[in-house]
Chain A
């Protein structure tokens, strides 16, 4: 049975007749019991496209939810990180070949914030190792030397994410990752990086880099 804690205007949790009260992320919900929907048949072309887009983006973000928690930390009060990332990316994350959507990797964002990115970001493949470099100067305004640099690699041939660990700091100016056991030669490795301060309160926008596997 649902109990109203704050009087007539208060929220409640549980069932009261045909009404169900619940709460999530400090948002109070009041819902009717689920209605029975008739089977509407096959989706239209437009519906089918939307469903494909939803599936594609949701599946893509699924393995990196914990990174999105850092990148979209400011939105977590009333949303999950994956939902926030989904909403932020949905409008510009797709390329279309006919009616088949595919992800526009260069437009994907894993963070949203106002911390200044380091600049001069570069990724090169050398002797089976990806080396990522960036500018370490902060110019008095662009964040702290101890900002964490989060680097996410995506290898399309095995549909797998790789996180560069241990997390580099801004002052180190470089990070590297051995690619010998990953991916196929000649394929394009997608790479995103963003920074967050040591308290993980401010994050920078995402920078996209791509590098050819040698």
Chain B
């Protein structure tokens, strides 16, 4: 056993393939989710047994398991498989998504449902991991409104972004699974 570090001893030639692949998966998932940590801490809270770090860890695990595609070193995140939130609150079917210069509007069905309450709040997230910027709706919208709008940062005019939508009950205890609204190209 080599007890002392000797700078003249070369390092191991190659790290094992599986180790490198796992490290890259972790890095990709962390880079994608970390800026959304305040949201995820809430939306995955039920799966975190009261701990924010565990809640985030569960979201991270889900991304690593389901949302990473490809073989090392060409692994990549598939954003439509990423779940920003998790739970049993039902989603309303999306009827239309309208993107303008400064905002993103989403229309959804607001019909009554045994599991879906009128007062369930809707949240929309526009997020660009490349630009490192995101936006959330600043007005409280509920399921009965049938429409939600988010004001977009000016950087999104020149940069593409992903958008997600999810519902939560009025007590903020239960969430729906997030719905991927799509990838929006820059306008300019």
Closest to A143 in B: B38
B126-140 vs A: 1/0 string, CB under 8 Å?
A: 010000111111100
Beyond A114-B34, A115-B35, A120-B155, list 20 extra A-B contacts (CB 8 Å). A31-B4, A31-B5, A114-B132, A116-B35, A116-B133, A119-B133, A137-B153, A139-B133, A139-B135, A139-B138, A139-B152, A139-B153, A140-B135, A140-B136, A141-B36, A141-B125, A141-B134, A142-B134, A204-B132, A205-B132
- Is the pair B132, A116 in contact by a Cβ cutoff of 8 Å? yes
| Contact of B169 with A by CB under 8 A | no
Q: Verify if A14 is at the interface (C-beta below 8 Å from B).
A: no
Chain B positions near chain A (C-beta within 8 angstroms): 3-5, 34-39, 125, 127, 132-138, 150-155
Query: In chain A, residues 39-66, which have Cβ atoms closer than 8 Å to a Cβ of chain B?
Result: none
**Interface residues of chain B: helix, strand, loop or mixed (majority):** mixed
Can you list 13 A-B pairs with a CB-CB distance of less than 8 A? A30-B3, A32-B4, A114-B34, A115-B35, A116-B134, A119-B133, A119-B154, A137-B153, A139-B150, A141-B36, A141-B127, A142-B135, A142-B153
User: What chain B residues lie within 8 Å of A119 (beta carbons)?
Assistant: 133, 153-155
Check A73 for interface membership: any CB of B closer than 8 A: no
Check if A71 is an interface residue, CB within 8 A of chain B. no
Q: How far is the CB of A20 from chain B (nearest CB, A)?
A: 11
Q: Contacts of A141 on B, CB cut-off 8 Å?
A: 36, 38-39, 125, 127, 134-136
Q: Are A120 and B154 in contact (CB under 8 A)?
A: yes
A residues less than 8 Å from B152 (CB atoms): 139
Q: What mask results when residues 114 to 146 of chain A are scored 1 for a CB within 8 Å of chain B, else 0?
A: 111101100000000000000101011110000
> Are B137 and A140 closer than 8 Å at their CB atoms?
yes
The 6 closest A-B pairs by CB, nearest first: A140-B136, A139-B135, A141-B136, A114-B35, A141-B134, A114-B34
Cα distance A50–B64 in the bound complex, in angstroms: 38
A26 to B5, CA, bound (A): 18
Within 8 A of B (CB), among A155-207: 204-205
List the A side residues contacting B37 at CB < 8 Å: 114
Q: Which residues of B contact A135 (CB under 8 A)?
A: 153-154
Min distance, Cβ B133 to any Cβ of chain A, angstroms:
5
Q: Which of A31, A115, A137, A141 has the most CB of B within 10 A?
A: A141
Q: Chain B contacts of A120 at CB under 8 A?
A: 154-155
A142 to B154, CA, bound (A): 13
CB distance from A154 to the nearest CB of B (A): 23
Most buried by A among B37, B132, B151, B154: B132
For B5, the chain A residues whose CB sits under 8 A away are: 31
Task: Give the CA-CA distance A120 to B159 in the complex, in Å.
Answer: 13
Q: Which residue of B lies closest to A120 (CB)?
A: B154
Contacts of B127 in A (CB 8 A): 141
Report the minimum CB–CB distance from A96 to chain B (whole Å).
Answer: 27
